[in-house]
Homo-oligomer: A and B are copies of this chain.
Amino acid sequence: MSYLDRIRACNAGDLSRYRPLIVAGHEVGHVAQEIADRLTEFPAVFHVGDDTVELDPALKTAAERTAAVATVSLNFHEQGILAGWWDEPYPVAVSFNAPLLLTVERGCAPCFGFRAYGVHINGIVRDGGETKMWVARRSRSKQSHPGLLDQIVAGGQPAGLTLMENVIKECAEEAGIPAALACRARPVGAITYFGERPEGLRDDVLFNYDLDLPADFRPFAADGEVEEFYLWSLDEVAERIRDTEDFKFNCNLVIIDFLIRHGVIPADHPDYVDISRGLHI
Protein backbone atom coordinates (compact mmCIF):
# COMPACT_ATOMS: atom_id res chain seq x y z
CA MET A 1 0.00 0.00 0.00
CA SER A 2 1.03 3.62 -0.43
CA TYR A 3 0.04 7.13 0.58
CA LEU A 4 -1.65 7.47 -2.79
CA ASP A 5 -3.77 4.38 -2.14
CA ARG A 6 -5.11 6.06 1.01
CA ILE A 7 -6.09 9.09 -1.03
CA ARG A 8 -7.66 6.95 -3.73
CA ALA A 9 -9.71 5.12 -1.09
CA CYS A 10 -11.38 8.44 -0.19
CA ASN A 11 -12.10 9.30 -3.81
CA ALA A 12 -13.40 5.99 -5.11
CA GLY A 13 -16.68 4.83 -6.52
CA ASP A 14 -18.93 4.74 -9.53
CA LEU A 15 -20.35 8.24 -9.74
CA SER A 16 -22.45 7.50 -12.82
CA ARG A 17 -25.13 6.14 -10.47
CA TYR A 18 -25.67 9.61 -8.98
CA ARG A 19 -27.74 12.53 -10.14
CA PRO A 20 -27.41 16.13 -8.92
CA LEU A 21 -29.61 17.27 -6.05
CA ILE A 22 -30.94 20.80 -6.58
CA VAL A 23 -31.98 23.05 -3.71
CA ALA A 24 -33.26 26.58 -4.46
CA GLY A 25 -31.65 26.40 -7.89
CA HIS A 26 -28.25 25.31 -6.60
CA GLU A 27 -26.58 21.92 -7.06
CA VAL A 28 -25.66 21.07 -3.47
CA GLY A 29 -25.73 17.27 -3.37
CA HIS A 30 -25.76 14.00 -5.29
CA VAL A 31 -28.30 11.21 -4.95
CA ALA A 32 -27.63 7.56 -5.79
CA GLN A 33 -30.08 5.59 -7.91
CA GLU A 34 -31.44 3.57 -4.98
CA ILE A 35 -31.98 6.68 -2.84
CA ALA A 36 -33.68 8.48 -5.72
CA ASP A 37 -36.06 5.52 -6.01
CA ARG A 38 -36.97 5.86 -2.35
CA LEU A 39 -37.43 9.63 -2.62
CA THR A 40 -40.25 9.07 -5.11
CA GLU A 41 -42.28 8.10 -2.02
CA PHE A 42 -42.06 11.74 -0.86
CA PRO A 43 -43.44 13.74 -3.82
CA ALA A 44 -44.33 16.74 -1.60
CA VAL A 45 -40.66 17.10 -0.68
CA PHE A 46 -38.54 15.83 -3.59
CA HIS A 47 -39.19 15.94 -7.33
CA VAL A 48 -37.31 12.99 -8.76
CA GLY A 49 -36.52 13.55 -12.43
CA ASP A 50 -34.50 11.52 -14.91
CA ASP A 51 -31.46 13.78 -14.67
CA THR A 52 -31.83 15.54 -11.34
CA VAL A 53 -33.54 15.36 -7.98
CA GLU A 54 -34.97 18.69 -6.84
CA LEU A 55 -36.14 19.79 -3.43
CA ASP A 56 -39.65 21.21 -3.91
CA PRO A 57 -39.01 24.87 -4.89
CA ALA A 58 -42.25 25.82 -3.11
CA LEU A 59 -40.25 25.39 0.11
CA LYS A 60 -39.03 28.97 0.33
CA THR A 61 -37.18 29.31 3.64
CA ALA A 62 -34.41 27.39 5.35
CA ALA A 63 -36.86 26.51 8.14
CA GLU A 64 -39.41 25.09 5.68
CA ARG A 65 -36.77 23.09 3.81
CA THR A 66 -35.25 21.79 7.06
CA ALA A 67 -38.62 20.61 8.37
CA ALA A 68 -39.56 18.93 5.09
CA VAL A 69 -36.28 17.06 4.72
CA ALA A 70 -36.39 16.06 8.41
CA THR A 71 -39.56 14.04 7.76
CA VAL A 72 -37.66 12.09 5.11
CA SER A 73 -34.55 11.71 7.28
CA LEU A 74 -36.57 10.35 10.17
CA ASN A 75 -38.33 7.90 7.89
CA PHE A 76 -34.98 6.73 6.50
CA HIS A 77 -33.64 6.42 10.05
CA GLU A 78 -36.63 4.30 11.14
CA GLN A 79 -36.15 2.07 8.11
CA GLY A 80 -32.48 1.57 8.98
CA ILE A 81 -31.24 3.18 5.78
CA LEU A 82 -28.87 5.61 7.54
CA ALA A 83 -25.55 4.41 8.91
CA GLY A 84 -25.89 6.50 12.06
CA TRP A 85 -27.78 9.23 13.87
CA TRP A 86 -25.98 11.94 15.85
CA ASP A 87 -28.69 14.53 16.58
CA GLU A 88 -26.30 17.09 15.12
CA PRO A 89 -27.62 19.62 12.61
CA TYR A 90 -25.33 20.03 9.61
CA PRO A 91 -25.59 23.16 7.45
CA VAL A 92 -26.28 22.92 3.71
CA ALA A 93 -25.25 25.91 1.60
CA VAL A 94 -23.61 26.71 -1.73
CA SER A 95 -20.28 27.16 0.04
CA PHE A 96 -18.99 27.26 3.61
CA ASN A 97 -19.76 30.93 4.16
CA ALA A 98 -22.84 31.18 1.95
CA PRO A 99 -26.38 31.73 3.34
CA LEU A 100 -27.92 28.63 4.87
CA LEU A 101 -30.29 26.72 2.58
CA LEU A 102 -31.31 24.12 5.17
CA THR A 103 -29.89 22.01 7.96
CA VAL A 104 -29.94 18.22 7.95
CA GLU A 105 -29.14 15.59 10.55
CA ARG A 106 -25.44 14.69 10.25
CA GLY A 107 -26.18 11.01 9.66
CA CYS A 108 -28.19 11.98 6.62
CA ALA A 109 -25.59 14.06 4.77
CA PRO A 110 -23.89 11.16 2.91
CA CYS A 111 -27.32 9.89 1.87
CA PHE A 112 -27.93 13.09 -0.10
CA GLY A 113 -24.27 13.69 -0.91
CA PHE A 114 -24.39 17.05 0.83
CA ARG A 115 -21.00 18.62 1.40
CA ALA A 116 -19.95 18.21 5.02
CA TYR A 117 -17.22 19.95 6.97
CA GLY A 118 -15.00 18.87 9.83
CA VAL A 119 -12.12 20.10 11.98
CA HIS A 120 -9.09 17.81 12.45
CA ILE A 121 -6.29 18.66 14.83
CA ASN A 122 -2.75 17.28 14.68
CA GLY A 123 -1.50 17.22 18.27
CA ILE A 124 2.26 17.69 18.12
CA VAL A 125 4.99 17.44 20.76
CA ARG A 126 8.44 18.78 19.92
CA ASP A 127 10.63 16.83 22.30
CA GLY A 128 14.18 18.07 21.86
CA GLY A 129 15.06 17.44 18.23
CA GLU A 130 12.26 14.96 17.60
CA THR A 131 8.67 15.72 16.63
CA LYS A 132 6.01 13.32 17.92
CA MET A 133 2.30 13.11 17.23
CA TRP A 134 -0.54 12.18 19.55
CA VAL A 135 -2.83 9.56 18.04
CA ALA A 136 -6.22 8.50 19.45
CA ARG A 137 -7.82 5.08 19.25
CA ARG A 138 -11.57 5.54 18.79
CA SER A 139 -13.76 3.87 21.37
CA ARG A 140 -15.01 0.38 20.43
CA SER A 141 -18.52 1.64 21.20
CA LYS A 142 -18.49 4.54 18.70
CA GLN A 143 -21.16 4.18 16.03
CA SER A 144 -18.76 4.91 13.21
CA HIS A 145 -15.31 3.39 12.73
CA PRO A 146 -15.00 1.88 16.24
CA GLY A 147 -11.47 0.96 17.32
CA LEU A 148 -9.71 2.72 14.47
CA LEU A 149 -6.94 5.30 14.89
CA ASP A 150 -7.72 9.00 14.65
CA GLN A 151 -6.26 12.46 15.20
CA ILE A 152 -5.97 13.46 18.87
CA VAL A 153 -9.08 15.57 18.23
CA ALA A 154 -11.46 15.62 15.26
CA GLY A 155 -15.10 16.41 14.82
CA GLY A 156 -17.80 17.28 12.36
CA GLN A 157 -18.62 20.95 11.94
CA PRO A 158 -22.23 21.47 13.04
CA ALA A 159 -24.43 24.45 12.26
CA GLY A 160 -24.25 27.30 14.75
CA LEU A 161 -20.61 27.12 15.86
CA THR A 162 -17.62 28.96 14.42
CA LEU A 163 -14.69 26.74 13.44
CA MET A 164 -12.62 27.88 16.44
CA GLU A 165 -15.56 27.38 18.83
CA ASN A 166 -15.84 23.86 17.48
CA VAL A 167 -12.08 23.25 17.83
CA ILE A 168 -12.19 24.37 21.47
CA LYS A 169 -15.31 22.31 22.21
CA GLU A 170 -13.94 19.14 20.60
CA CYS A 171 -10.52 19.60 22.24
CA ALA A 172 -12.19 19.72 25.65
CA GLU A 173 -14.57 16.81 25.01
CA GLU A 174 -12.29 14.40 23.20
CA ALA A 175 -8.88 14.98 24.78
CA GLY A 176 -9.30 17.18 27.84
CA ILE A 177 -7.33 20.02 26.23
CA PRO A 178 -8.09 23.28 28.06
CA ALA A 179 -9.43 26.19 26.01
CA ALA A 180 -6.34 28.31 26.70
CA LEU A 181 -4.25 25.66 24.94
CA ALA A 182 -6.79 24.67 22.27
CA CYS A 183 -7.13 28.24 21.01
CA ARG A 184 -3.48 28.10 19.92
CA ALA A 185 -4.40 25.53 17.25
CA ARG A 186 -3.08 26.96 13.97
CA PRO A 187 -5.11 26.54 10.76
CA VAL A 188 -2.90 24.94 8.11
CA GLY A 189 -5.22 24.40 5.16
CA ALA A 190 -8.32 22.56 3.99
CA ILE A 191 -8.26 19.16 2.31
CA THR A 192 -11.10 17.70 0.30
CA TYR A 193 -12.25 14.34 -1.01
CA PHE A 194 -15.27 13.10 -2.90
CA GLY A 195 -16.18 9.46 -3.05
CA GLU A 196 -18.40 6.55 -2.11
CA ARG A 197 -18.31 5.04 1.35
CA PRO A 198 -20.59 2.41 2.89
CA GLU A 199 -22.70 5.22 4.40
CA GLY A 200 -23.15 7.04 1.08
CA LEU A 201 -21.38 9.76 -0.86
CA ARG A 202 -18.82 11.76 1.09
CA ASP A 203 -18.20 15.24 -0.31
CA ASP A 204 -16.12 16.46 2.58
CA VAL A 205 -13.92 19.41 3.46
CA LEU A 206 -11.62 19.00 6.46
CA PHE A 207 -10.19 22.12 8.07
CA ASN A 208 -6.82 21.01 9.43
CA TYR A 209 -5.00 22.47 12.40
CA ASP A 210 -1.59 21.89 13.98
CA LEU A 211 -1.50 22.23 17.76
CA ASP A 212 1.81 22.22 19.63
CA LEU A 213 1.33 20.55 23.00
CA PRO A 214 3.68 20.77 26.00
CA ALA A 215 5.79 17.65 26.55
CA ASP A 216 4.15 17.07 29.93
CA PHE A 217 0.57 17.34 28.65
CA ARG A 218 -1.42 14.10 28.81
CA PRO A 219 -4.68 13.90 26.86
CA PHE A 220 -7.66 12.16 28.44
CA ALA A 221 -11.02 11.27 26.95
CA ALA A 222 -13.52 13.44 28.79
CA ASP A 223 -16.49 12.09 26.81
CA GLY A 224 -15.46 8.44 26.48
CA GLU A 225 -15.14 8.63 22.70
CA VAL A 226 -11.46 7.67 22.82
CA GLU A 227 -10.18 4.37 24.18
CA GLU A 228 -6.52 5.23 24.39
CA PHE A 229 -3.96 7.83 23.28
CA TYR A 230 -0.50 7.10 21.89
CA LEU A 231 2.47 9.43 21.42
CA TRP A 232 4.34 8.20 18.37
CA SER A 233 7.30 9.35 16.31
CA LEU A 234 6.44 10.69 12.86
CA ASP A 235 8.23 7.68 11.36
CA GLU A 236 5.93 5.31 13.24
CA VAL A 237 2.84 7.30 12.25
CA ALA A 238 3.96 7.39 8.60
CA GLU A 239 4.61 3.64 8.59
CA ARG A 240 1.15 2.88 10.03
CA ILE A 241 -0.48 5.13 7.43
CA ARG A 242 1.35 3.39 4.58
CA ASP A 243 1.38 -0.20 5.73
CA THR A 244 -1.75 -0.75 7.81
CA GLU A 245 -5.45 0.06 7.67
CA ASP A 246 -5.41 1.09 11.34
CA PHE A 247 -6.46 4.70 10.72
CA LYS A 248 -9.99 5.86 9.93
CA PHE A 249 -10.21 6.48 6.18
CA ASN A 250 -10.09 10.29 6.19
CA CYS A 251 -7.65 10.64 9.10
CA ASN A 252 -5.02 9.12 6.80
CA LEU A 253 -5.31 12.17 4.55
CA VAL A 254 -4.94 14.66 7.41
CA ILE A 255 -1.67 13.03 8.42
CA ILE A 256 -0.40 12.69 4.85
CA ASP A 257 -1.00 16.46 4.51
CA PHE A 258 0.98 16.95 7.73
CA LEU A 259 3.84 14.79 6.45
CA ILE A 260 3.93 16.80 3.19
CA ARG A 261 3.86 20.19 4.92
CA HIS A 262 6.58 19.24 7.39
CA GLY A 263 9.01 17.73 4.90
CA VAL A 264 8.68 14.15 6.17
CA ILE A 265 7.68 13.03 2.67
CA PRO A 266 10.61 14.11 0.47
CA ALA A 267 9.95 16.19 -2.65
CA ASP A 268 11.49 13.46 -4.83
CA HIS A 269 8.99 10.85 -3.60
CA PRO A 270 7.68 9.19 -6.77
CA ASP A 271 4.07 10.18 -5.96
CA TYR A 272 4.82 13.65 -4.55
CA VAL A 273 2.88 15.71 -7.08
CA ASP A 274 -0.04 13.29 -7.15
CA ILE A 275 -0.19 13.28 -3.35
CA SER A 276 -0.14 17.08 -3.14
CA ARG A 277 -2.92 17.33 -5.71
CA GLY A 278 -4.82 14.31 -4.41
CA LEU A 279 -5.47 16.00 -1.08
CA HIS A 280 -7.50 18.71 -2.83
CA ILE A 281 -9.76 16.87 -5.27
CB within 8 A of A268: which of B162, B186, B263? B162
Question: Quick check: is A262 within 8 A (CB to CB) of the other chain?
Answer: yes
For residue A262, give the distance in angstroms from its CB to the closest CB of chain B. 7
Contact B272 A186 (CB under 8 A): no
Cα A280 to Cα B266 with chains together (Å): 18
Contact between chains at B188 and A272 (CB < 8 Å): no
Among residues of B, the one whose C-beta sits closest to the C-beta of A270 is: B97
Whether A263 touches B191, Cβ cut-off 8 Å, given contacts A95-B273, A97-B270, is no
Tell me whether A260 is interfacial, beta carbon within 8 Å: yes
A221 part of interface (Cβ distance < 8 Å): no
Which one of B96, B186, B262 lies within 8 Å of A188 (CB-CB)?
Answer: B262
Give chain B nearest CB distance to A144 CB in angstroms.
Answer: 23
Main secondary structure of the interface of A (DSSP, over half): mixed
* Inter-chain contact B191/A276, CB cutoff 8 Å: yes
Which residues does A use to contact B, with CB under 8 Å?
Answer: 95-97, 162-164, 186-192, 205, 207, 209, 260-263, 265-268, 270, 272-274, 276-277, 279-280
Q: Give the residues in chain B near A162, CB-CB below 8 Å.
A: 268
A272 to B209, CA, bound (A): 13
The answer on a CB contact under 8 Å between B262 and A186 is: yes
Instruction: Give Cα A273–Cα B187 distance, bound, in whole angstroms.
Output: 12
Question: Are B260 and A188 in contact, with the CB atoms below 8 A?
Answer: yes
Smallest CB separation, A158 vs chain B (Å): 15
